[in-house]
C-alpha cells in the first residue's frame, strides 16, 4: 500500500556510473520539477529513481543492490529503475517484483510524467527493454539548463552512443550508435547555463572524440571548441574523456594557452599501454601514438592535469604486458589514475576468453597502479604550490580541515580550499578568482587570495 501523496510529492534520484548518467539525472531532476515534484536527497520520498550503470558486471550488480536497498529503506515509496542495467539484464531486473516501474535509457524523457500519472493512480507503462536508438540526431530537449541552479559547474552531453565495440565493453549494445548534438544546440544550451549562473561546463559524451562523425564530419569537437570560445567567452570549458588518436594539434594548443578558457585538464582514455593488450581490446591506437601525445603535451608539464583510465587483469594481460603499462605510466606526465580491475561483462567478446587472470593478481596489479597514481597526484599538487591558479568557487564548507572555507577546483582540476576571511566572505559561488596555494593537505591545496 502506497502512502498518501503529499501536497508536493518528493522524489529521490540515485545515480551510478559515468558523467553521461549524471547529466541525464540532472535532466530527470529538471523534468520532475517541471511536473511539480520536489527533488530531495533524504527523508521519506514518494518515489525513488535509480539511474543504473552496467559498464561492468560489478556495476550492474551494484545497481541492483541499490534497488534492493531503496526498497528496504523507503518501504512506502514507488521505486523505479532506469539506465543501462535495464537494457543489459532485463531478466534479472524483472525478477525484482517489488519494482514499481522500469524504463530503459530511451524512456528517461517520459519517466517523470509517467511516475506523476502513476502516483495519481494511473497505470504506468514500464518498458521491458526499450529499443536502443541507433540513428538520428541526439535529443536532449528534456534536459534543460534550469536543472541545477545555484551550482557553478554543469555537465553538457554533446554526444551519445559508440561505434567502436571494444571487445570488453557492453556500452555500444546499450547506448546505440554515435549521435551528436548540433553545435547550434550546444551553444544555446551553454548560453542558457551561463544565464542561469553557471560558470563552467564539462563537455561530455559516451565517445566524445567521435563528436560530429554522424554528421559526415561537417563539425567536430575542435570546431565546437572554437565556436564556444569565440561566442561565449565568459564560459570555462572542461573536456570529458578522449583517446590519444582523437586529440588534434588545435586541441593541444587550446589546452596549453592560458588565455583560452579551455581548462588545462585532459582525461585520456588509455586502458593499457601494452600493444598486446590494446590489440586484444580492439583499441585503435598503440604505444607509439600514446608516447607521441605525451611528447606533444610536454610543454604543459607541471600545470596541465592529465588523467587516465586503466583496466588491469584482462585475460590477454600477462605480467610482462602489465609491466609495460606500469613502465609507461611511471615515465610520462600523468597526474592521476582511475584503475579498474577487469570483470567480464556477459554479451561482450572478451567474456568468452579463457586464461583468466587470477583475482589475487588482478588486485595486486590494481593496487600497484593505484599507489603510483596517488604518488603522481601528490607530486603534481606540490608542483603547483606557490603558482597562481584560477579557481572556480563552488561551495562553502563549514567543517573543512582548515575550518570554514570556500571549496573549488583550479582550471587544472586540483581541489582548493580558501579560508573564509574578511576578504573572501563576500565572494559568490560561481566566481573565478586567482589564488596562490601554499600547502597540500588532506588532498586539498590550501590557498591565499
Ligand atoms: S570506445 Fe570502447 S570502451 Fe568506450 S564506450 Fe565505445 S566500445 Fe566502450
Mutational test site, ligand 1, from 18, 55, 59, 164, max ligand atoms within 8 Å of CB: 164
pLDDT over 70 for what percent of the chain? Answer: 92
Distance 258 CA to ligand 1 centre (A): 31
What pLDDT was estimated at residue 137? Answer: 42
CATH architecture for the domain at 10-119: 3-Layer(aba) Sandwich (3.40)
In terms of Cα–Cα distance, which of 426, 378, 419, 380 is closest to 401?
A: 419
Q: Are 148 and 394 in contact (CB under 8 A)?
A: no
Which atom of ligand 1 is nearest to 170's Cα?
8
DSSP string, 196-230: TT--EEEEEETTGGGTTGGGTTSS-HHHHHHHHHH
Domains 10-119 and 389-448 share a fold: no
**CATH no. for 389-448:** 2.40.50
**Cβ proximity of 395 and 429 under 8 Å:** yes
CA 89 to each of CA 92, 128, 205, 227: distance values in angstroms, whole numbers, following the listed order: 6, 10, 23, 41
Residue 169 alpha carbon, nearest atom of ligand 1: 8
pLDDT band of 131, cuts 50, 70, 90: very low
Q: What is the pLDDT of residues 395-426, one digit of tens each?
A: 999 999 999 999 999 999 999 999 998 888 88
The pLDDT, as a whole number, for residue 141 is 41
Q: Which residues contact 315 (CB under 8 A, 6 or more apart)?
A: 280, 342, 350, 353, 354, 355, 356, 357
**For the segment 302-328, what is each residue's pLDDT rounded down to a tens digit?**
999 999 999 999 998 999 999 999 999
Between the CA of 164 and the centroid of ligand 1 the distance, in Å, is 6
CA 278 to ligand 1 center in whole angstroms? 13
Q: According to the model, what pLDDT value does residue 145 have?
A: 46
Closest ligand 1 atom to the C-alpha of 243? Answer: 1
Task: Summarize pLDDT for 336-354 with one digit per residue, the tens.
Answer: 999 999 989 889 999 999 8
Q: Distance (Å, rounded) from C-alpha 401 to C-alpha 188?
A: 40
pLDDT of residue 5: 52
Domains of the chain, by residue range, sit at 10-119, 389-448
Highest mean pLDDT among 121-135, 146-160, 163-177, 232-246: 232-246
Q: Which atom of ligand 1 is nearest to the CA of 282?
A: 2
List the strands of the sheet with 200-205, edge to edge.
179-180, 153-160, 200-205, 236-239
Assign 49 a pLDDT band (cuts: 50, 70, 90): very high
Residue 444 has pLDDT above 60, yes or no: yes
Per residue in 376-397, pLDDT (tens digit) is 999 999 999 999 999 999 999 9
CA 320 to ligand 1 centroid distance, Å = 25
**pLDDT tens for residues 351-377?**
999 878 999 999 999 999 999 999 999
Would you tell me the crossing angle of helices 221-231 and 183-195 to the nearest 10 degrees?
Answer: 40
Structure confidence at residue 211 (pLDDT): 96
CA-based nearest residue to 389, from 440, 429, 445: 445
Q: Hey, is 29 helix, strand or coil?
A: helix
Three cell numbers written together for 66: 541499490
Candidates 20, 53, 172: which one to mutate for ligand 1, based on the most atoms within 8 Å of Cβ?
172
Q: Cell 566524445, residue? A: 208
Give yes or no for residue 105 having a pLDDT over 70.
yes
Average pLDDT, the chain: 90
CA of 171 to the centre of ligand 1 (A): 6
Beta bridge partners of 442: none
Residue nearest to atom 4 of ligand 1 (CA): 207
Total-model pTM: 0.86
Q: How confident is the model at residue 6 (pLDDT cuts 50, 70, 90)?
A: low
Digit-coded pLDDT (tens) for 153-208: 888 999 999 999 999 999 998 888 889 999 999 999 999 989 988 999 999 999 99
Nearest Cα to Cα of residue 200 among 15, 21, 17, 409? 409
> Could you give the count of Cα atoms lying within 13 Å of 359 in the half-sphere of its Cβ?
2
pLDDT confidence of residue 134: 37
Which residues have any ligand 1 atom within 6 Å of their CB? 162, 164-166, 169, 171-172, 206-207
pLDDT at 125 over 70: no
**pLDDT of 1 higher than 50:** no
Amino acid at each position: 500500500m502506497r502512502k498518501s501523496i503529499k501536497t508536493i510529492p518528493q522524489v529521490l534520484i540515485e545515480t551510478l556510473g559515468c558523467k553521461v548518467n549524471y547529466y541525464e539525472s540532472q535532466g530527470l531532476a529538471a523534468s520532475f520539477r517541471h511536473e511539480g515534484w520536489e527533488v530531495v536527497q533524504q527523508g521519506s520520498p514518494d518515489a525513488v529513481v535509480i539511474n543504473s550503470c552496467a559498464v561492468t558486471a560489478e556495476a550492474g550488480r551494484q545497481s541492483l543492490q541499490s534497488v534492493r536497498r531503496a526498497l528496504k529503506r523507503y518501504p512506502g515509496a514507488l521505486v523505479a529503475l532506469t539506465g543501462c542495467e535495464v537494457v543489459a539484464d532485463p531478466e534479472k531486473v524483472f525478477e525484482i517484483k517489488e519494482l514499481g516501474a522500469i524504463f530503459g535509457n530511451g524512456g528517461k524523457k517520459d519517466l517523470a510524467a509517467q511516475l506523476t500519472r502513476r502516483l495519481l493512480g494511473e497505470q504506468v507503462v514500464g518498458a521491458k527493454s526499450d529499443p536502443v536508438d541507433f540513428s538520428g540526431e541526439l535529443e536532449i530537449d528534456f534536459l534543460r539548463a534550469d536543472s541545477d541552479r545555484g551550482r557553478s559547474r554543469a555537465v553538457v552531453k554533446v554526444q551519445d552512443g559508440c561505434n567502436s565495440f571494444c571487445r570488453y565493453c557492453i556500452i555500444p549494445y546499450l547506448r546505440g550508435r554515435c549521435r551528436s548534438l548540433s553545435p547550434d544546440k550546444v551553444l544555446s544550451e551553454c548560453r542558457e547555463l551561463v544565464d542561469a549562473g553557471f560558470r563552467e561546463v564539462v563537455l561530455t559524451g559516451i565517445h566524445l572524440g567521435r563528436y560530429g562523425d554522424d554528421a559526415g564530419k561537417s563539425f567536430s569537437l575542435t570546431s565546437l571548441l572554437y565556436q564556444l570560445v569565440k561566442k561565449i567567452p565568459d564560459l570555462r570549458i572542461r573536456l570529458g574523456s578522449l583517446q590519444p588518436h582523437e586529440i588534434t594539434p588545435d586541441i593541444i594548443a587550446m589546452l596549453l594557452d592560458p588565455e583560452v578558457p579551455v581548462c588545462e585538464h585532459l582525461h585520456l582514455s588509455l586502458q593499457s599501454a601494452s600493444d598486446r593488450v590494446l590489440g586484444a581490446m580492439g583499441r585503435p591506437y598503440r604505444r607509439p601514438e600514446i608516447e607521441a601525445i605525451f611528447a606533444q603535451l610536454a610543454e604543459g608539464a607541471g600545470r596541465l592535469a592529465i588523467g587516465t583510465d586503466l583496466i588491469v587483469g584482462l585475460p590477454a594481460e600477462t605480467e610482462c604486458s602489465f609491466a609495460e603499462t606500469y613502465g609507461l605510466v611511471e615515465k610520462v606526465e600523468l597526474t592521476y589514475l582511475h584503475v579498474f580491475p577487469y570483470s567480464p561483462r556477459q554479451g561482450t567478446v572478451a567474456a568468452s576468453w579463457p586464461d583468466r587472470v587470477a583475482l589475487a593478481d588482478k588486485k595486486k596489479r590494481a593496487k600497484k597502479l593505484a599507489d603510483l597514481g596517488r604518488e603522481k597526484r601528490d607530486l603534481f599538487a606540490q608542483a603547483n604550490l606557490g603558482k597562481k591558479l584560477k579557481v572556480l568557487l563552488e561551495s562553502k564548507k563549514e567543517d573543512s580541515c582548515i575550518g570554514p572555507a570556500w571549496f573549488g577546483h583550479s582550471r587544472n582540476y586540483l581541489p582548493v580550499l580558501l579560508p573564509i576571511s574578511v576578504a573572501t566572505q563576500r565572494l559568490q559561488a560561481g566566481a573565478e578568482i586567482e589564488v596562490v596555494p601554499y600547502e597540500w593537505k588532506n588532498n586539498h591545496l590550501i590557498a591565499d587570495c
